[in-house]
Amino acid sequence: MIDGDRTRSVLLGSGETVAAGKAIANIGPKLLFSQMVDEQHLEPEFHRRVHGFRIGSGIVIGPTINYLEQAYVDATQYG
């Protein structure tokens, strides 16, 4: 829950509210600010910019480049 410009508590999926002096999110900014923080708490320009974020595939680590290439081919062909 946000009071002014500060997070005061966090509402868990279970419905429990936990008081928080600070909150840390382990998700990307687009998900955080578009689905977990109400738009009313964001400046209009910030909301517009976050909403326009494009999310890439991130970092992929594998044992060899051939392994990663085959994994990509398999994923595109077989889902």
Write out pLDDT tens, residues 5-63.
Answer: 788 888 888 999 999 888 888 888 888 888 888 888 888 998 888 888 777 666 778 88
pTM: 0.52
Give the pLDDT of residue 58.
67
> What's the mean pLDDT in 53-74?
82
Report the half-sphere exposure of 1 (CA within 13 A, side-chain side).
9
The partner residues of 6 in beta bridges, in order of sequence, read 3
Give the pLDDT of residue 15.
92
